[in-house]
Structure 1
Amino acid sequence: MYFKLATRNMKRSLKDYTIYFLTLVFGVCIFYTFNSIESQKVMMKLNEYQAQGFDRIEKVMGATSVFIACILGFLIIYANNYLIKRRKKEFGVYLTLGMEKGKISKILFVETIIIGIISLVIGLVIGIILSQGISVFTAKLFQVRLEQFKFIFSLAACIKTVTYFLIIYFIVFIFNTVSISKVQLINLLTQGKKNEKVKLKSIKWSVVVFILSVIILAAAYFKMLNMSLDILDADLLIPIILGIIGTFLFFFSLSGFFLKVFQYNKKRYFKDLNMFMLRQINSKINTTFVSMSFICLMLFISICTLAGGLGINKAINKDIRDLTHYDATLFGFGQVPIEKLLENNNIDINKYSNDYINYYTYTNEMGNDQMGIKDYLSKEAADKNKSYFEVAQNSTIPIMKLSDYNNVMKMLQKEGITLNKGEYAVFGDINTLMDGLKEALDNKTKIKVNGKILEPSKNPAMEITISNDLIKRNYCTFVVEDSLAEGLMPINSFLSLNYKGDKQQMEKTYTKDIRKVITDQKNGVMSITKERLLADSASLGAMISYLAIYIGVIFLITSAALLALQQLSESADNIERYKLLRKIGAEDNMINSSVLIQVGIYFMVPLSLALIHSLVGLKIAGQIVKIFGSVNILNHLLVTTIFIVIIYGGYFFATYSGVKKMIR
């Protein structure tokens, strides 16, 4: 009986389940797709490092999926709450006819199971199809070819998806049971005739709070835009907290502010159904304050995550060639005699290479001889690049011997340089800082090394990467005559080499032999091989890209679905009011126009503020991307815009159509 009644109720309330059903399908599809990435490696020929990269992505996606499951669980419970609210009058009739609350809960449980099974099946089918296309994208990110395209079904991802959603549906069942057990019959029958309690009754106070929120947000923007990027700095939390507080106050006062502004324009206020529409928005200020604030912040995170994540992946892959000039680089802190260290561990470097160099960088600690990067740059260049931590902290510029520099250039098959007595040269590998270094040379900026004043040579500022590394981190290095570096303290030592013979076999031999040296922390030495670096950068880029898309799309769907359900719920409560409008002569076109504007305001206001937040957020995201490479993050806004138009715009259109049909 319960199954038959639940099935009949679902057919009758099919239009109410549309948004709920689509959200479930989207959630299942995306959840399966991003948890099936690891299974795609069977189509690719991967080396040991690339296989390890896939394993890391699987672990990160698994941990992220727990967070995503919590977000989707909250969304499904919220959506289910809308369905209960939409049907409270129906449940009131059941109770009036003598049905027990426990039996109503059983009916809801059967409905939840039915729609859950249908959405799981459809979502998994779409996810399986979508994951086949993702495999091509994965191969591109890992810079490998698909050996043979195969149809892939990930049983592990399927089991994980079904398990997580069964847990969510069980929680929904408990929520439904508790919700139904607490309601009273009079509330069920009169739910649609109740208004929201307005927290902020005074419209004048709304205006005051609105202005205060704008001031707080402006202060947050100003502080964020005028600070260096130091993720470990607690000062970064101040503008974040101000931004959150400002956002909540903005939506807390928004309805009253809108109402006050329109009341000044009597002609517009009394035109058509504007007065009714504005009063409707104002009466929902409590719901608007809570949900719209979170929705705005989620949209902001979604925009910045999508654009920033894709930008980081592009930056990593763009600079990887400059970061892998050698087959391997050994890196030591301080005056680590790397060749001697290898010899003490019975490792002969000639076994692996006939082409290698050993070189150092030094620090200038003679009295006041040290020069920081901020001091070396002009004031304008320092301000322009203050987002770099080293520039903001005025980090000391290291020094390199002329002979070491020329040896590096010879190994890179590039021309060396010459220095006259009393001259120095400059090189770095951060593209956006090169103009500042050139300007310093043009300004004839003098430096002091080992007590002697040096002038810039005629050599231009050179953009050179001197060792294998995951990211470019050499902001500036001075090149001086060898005699001037005598007595200076070494801060870093390098040994770069190119393998001889079969490079793949030599990579395995070198990696195996060198492991005992680098695992001993007392030695203070690290090894970065070209093959490992290529695999790590590809896996890191893929991981960041997938996380950006995964989190960004889920937040976008959640935001749009919450707004849609909120509007459908409000319209369900207002059906009697729209009937009354028709009775007093309001035409359907006028009512539809009012609905379009109201739904548009609910969708556009949080998106608009999120876009304003994103102007600042993307600047910070751009600074983070700079750490990995010189890429313009704005180039990835097109992809973000496409996601917003398809998902957010789709939910807007579905909501408007649903509300219009509901009040018809």
Structure 2
Amino acid sequence: MLAKLAFRNVKRSARDYLVYFLTMTFVTALMFAFNTVIFSKDLQGRVSDVDMMQMLIILATVFVVIIIAWLINYMVRFMLGKRSREFGTYLLLGMRKKTIARLYMRENAALGMGAFFCGLVLGILLQQILLSILYGMLQETYHLQIVLDLRCLLMTASCYGGCYILALLRCSRKFRKMNIRELMYAGQQNEEIRESHEALKKWLFPASILLLFLLGYKLFFGETWSTGDILLFLVSLVFAIYLFYMGLSSWIVCYVRKKGSAVYKGEN
């Protein structure tokens, strides 16, 4: 009964779940691509300092996993807010909280498994892009080849499954503490947005574009790469992505404040 209800709810909420599904798919692909680099014996054989290379890749992977853990937790909480009124209605009809929590867990488990397998397919594409970039850094010619390593699959499944299960358990615990009134109005509560010095921070956006351009030039036209160069490149890339996010969000805020022409369409 619960399985049929969960499947029906997924079909009915397909429009909302599409963003959720695509996000989880990209999360899996990203983890799979980075984990491939860690276990690539061919790449390790072409690097003079293998231990340093593995350490750099592992640091990058840890950084990605931290972001992914936050993202999965956010998406699960977001969907709980979207479905809160429906769950409140179930409580009014006499369903027990434990039953509704199991229903929500089954829905997300089905979506998570589907997104994981789709993400592996997309991960093969990202794998080729990432390996071609790393081979380019080493001034080596890369020939397209699909690398499927059991350890890579197990590590990807462990990281993804661990983050996913922890996020679901946290949301389930939060759901059990909410009453009917809180569930009925949870979807209407907006997230708190803090704004400060947006006029200054918007200049981070063109600065990040310039930094990404310089990194791209170094990547495709750099002649030699030392261990220090690779470490500096990774740190600069993370820094540039952070500046891009901060600058873009501040630019959008300033644009909306000034009531730019793209804010309105007709009478909307």
Which residue identity does 1:166 align to in structure 2?
A: G
Listed as ranges, the matches of 1:203-282 within 5 Å are none
Aligned equivalent of 2:157: 162
Q: Of 143, 146, 150, which aligns to 1:151?
A: 146
Q: What is the alpha-carbon distance in structure 2 between the residues aligned to residue 155 and residue 109 of structure 1?
A: 28
Q: Quick check: 1:317–1:538 contact (8 Å CA) kept in 2?
A: no
Matched, 1:64 2:60: yes
| Deviation string, structure 1 residues 18-62 (Cα, Å, up to 9, x no partner) | 22222111221122212222444527973xxx242x442322222
Aligned equivalent of 1:128: 124
Q: Of 46, 71, 77, which aligns to 2:73?
A: 77
Q: What is the alpha-carbon distance in structure 2 between the residues aligned to residue 545 and residue 155 of structure 1?
A: 29
Q: What is the alpha-carbon distance in structure 2 between the residues aligned to residue 28 and residue 556 of structure 1?
A: 25
- Stretch moving more, 96-105 or 124-133: 124-133
Query: CA separation of 1:45/1:161 partners in 2, compared to 1, >3 Å: closer, same or farther?
Result: closer
Q: Quick check: 2:24–2:119 contact (8 Å CA) kept in 1?
A: yes
* Percent of aligned pairs with the same amino acid: 24
Aligned equivalent of 1:287: 192
Q: What is the alpha-carbon distance in structure 1 between the residues aligned to residue 131 and residue 95 of structure 2?
A: 52
| Deviation string, structure 1 residues 449-478 (Cα, Å, up to 9, x no partner) | xxxxxxxxxxxxxxxxxxxxxxxxxxxxxx
C-alpha displacement at 1:80, in angstroms? 1.5
Aligned equivalent of 1:29: 29
C-alpha displacement at 1:132, in angstroms? 2.3
C-alpha displacement at 1:308, in angstroms? 7.8
Q: Quick check: 1:34–1:550 contact (8 Å CA) kept in 2?
A: no
Q: Of 137, 141, 152, which aligns to 1:141?
A: 137
Aligned equivalent of 1:459: none
Q: Quick check: 2:38–2:58 contact (8 Å CA) kept in 1?
A: no
Aligned equivalent of 1:103: 99
Aligned equivalent of 1:178: 173
Which residue identity does 2:182 align to in structure 1?
A: N
C-alpha displacement at 1:169, in angstroms? 1.2
Aligned equivalent of 1:606: 250
- Stretch moving more, 306-315 or 537-546: 306-315
Which runs of 5 or more structure 2 residues have no equivalent in the other structure?
255-268
Which residue identity does 1:83 align to in structure 2?
A: M
3-state SS of 2:222 partner? helix
Aligned equivalent of 2:265: none
C-alpha displacement at 1:16, in angstroms? 0.8
Query: CA separation of 1:604/1:95 partners in 2, compared to 1, >3 Å: closer, same or farther?
Result: same
Matched, 1:3 2:3: yes
Q: What is the alpha-carbon distance in structure 2 between the residues aligned to residue 191 and residue 44 of structure 1?
A: 50
Matched, 1:118 2:114: yes
Q: What is the alpha-carbon distance in structure 2 between the residues aligned to residue 552 and residue 124 of structure 1?
A: 27
Aligned equivalent of 1:488: none
The structure carrying a bigger strand percent of its residues is 1
C-alpha displacement at 1:550, in angstroms? 6.8
Q: Quick check: 1:44–1:145 contact (8 Å CA) kept in 2?
A: no
Aligned equivalent of 1:189: 184
Aligned equivalent of 1:15: 15
Q: Quick check: 1:2–1:107 contact (8 Å CA) kept in 2?
A: yes
Query: CA separation of 1:96/1:551 partners in 2, compared to 1, >3 Å: closer, same or farther?
Result: farther
Q: What is the alpha-carbon distance in structure 1 between the residues aligned to residue 193 and residue 130 of structure 2?
A: 37
C-alpha displacement at 1:145, in angstroms? 3.1
C-alpha displacement at 1:90, in angstroms? 0.6
Aligned equivalent of 1:520: none
Aligned equivalent of 1:310: 215
C-alpha displacement at 1:190, in angstroms? 4.0
Q: Quick check: 2:27–2:68 contact (8 Å CA) kept in 1?
A: yes
Q: What is the alpha-carbon distance in structure 2 between the residues aligned to residue 149 and residue 87 of structure 1?
A: 44
Which residue identity does 2:60 align to in structure 1?
A: T
Q: Quick check: 2:29–2:120 contact (8 Å CA) kept in 1?
A: yes
Listed as ranges, the matches of 1:193-592 within 5 Å are 287-289=192-194, 303=208, 307=212, 310=215, 313=218, 317-318=222-223, 537-545=225-233
C-alpha displacement at 1:541, in angstroms? 3.9
Q: TM-score, normalised by structure 2?
A: 0.75
Q: What is the alpha-carbon distance in structure 1 between the residues aligned to residue 150 and residue 251 of structure 2?
A: 38
Q: Quick check: 1:316–1:541 contact (8 Å CA) kept in 2?
A: no
The structure carrying a bigger helix percent of its residues is 2
Which residue identity does 2:57 align to in structure 1?
A: M
Which runs of 5 or more structure 1 residues have no equivalent in the other structure?
197-283, 321-536, 561-602, 611-664
Q: TM-score, normalised by structure 1?
A: 0.33
Q: What is the alpha-carbon distance in structure 2 between the residues aligned to residue 29 and residue 303 of structure 1?
A: 25
Query: CA separation of 1:290/1:161 partners in 2, compared to 1, >3 Å: closer, same or farther?
Result: farther
Aligned equivalent of 1:514: none
Query: CA separation of 1:126/1:546 partners in 2, compared to 1, >3 Å: closer, same or farther?
Result: farther
| Deviation string, structure 1 residues 549-600 (Cα, Å, up to 9, x no partner) | 57866x699x69xxxxxxxxxxxxxxxxxxxxxxxxxxxxxxxxxxxxxxxx
Q: What is the alpha-carbon distance in structure 1 between the residues aligned to residue 87 and residue 45 of structure 2?
A: 59
Which residue identity does 1:107 align to in structure 2?
A: L
Query: CA separation of 1:150/1:316 partners in 2, compared to 1, >3 Å: closer, same or farther?
Result: closer
C-alpha displacement at 1:141, in angstroms? 1.0
Residues paired across the two proteins, number: 250
Aligned equivalent of 2:262: none
Query: CA separation of 1:86/1:288 partners in 2, compared to 1, >3 Å: closer, same or farther?
Result: same
Q: What is the alpha-carbon distance in structure 1 between the residues aligned to residue 248 and residue 144 of structure 2?
A: 43
3-state SS of 1:58 partner? helix
Quick check: which has more Rg, 1 or 2? 1
Query: CA separation of 1:111/1:83 partners in 2, compared to 1, >3 Å: closer, same or farther?
Result: same
Q: Quick check: 2:25–2:119 contact (8 Å CA) kept in 1?
A: yes
Q: What is the alpha-carbon distance in structure 1 between the residues aligned to residue 248 and residue 230 of structure 2?
A: 32
Q: What is the alpha-carbon distance in structure 2 between the residues aligned to residue 552 and residue 31 of structure 1?
A: 20
Query: CA separation of 1:609/1:65 partners in 2, compared to 1, >3 Å: closer, same or farther?
Result: farther
Q: What is the alpha-carbon distance in structure 2 between the residues aligned to residue 119 and residue 551 of structure 1?
A: 29
Q: What is the alpha-carbon distance in structure 2 between the residues aligned to residue 551 and residue 153 of structure 1?
A: 31
Query: CA separation of 1:18/1:306 partners in 2, compared to 1, >3 Å: closer, same or farther?
Result: farther
Q: What is the alpha-carbon distance in structure 1 between the residues aligned to residue 16 and residue 25 of structure 2?
A: 15
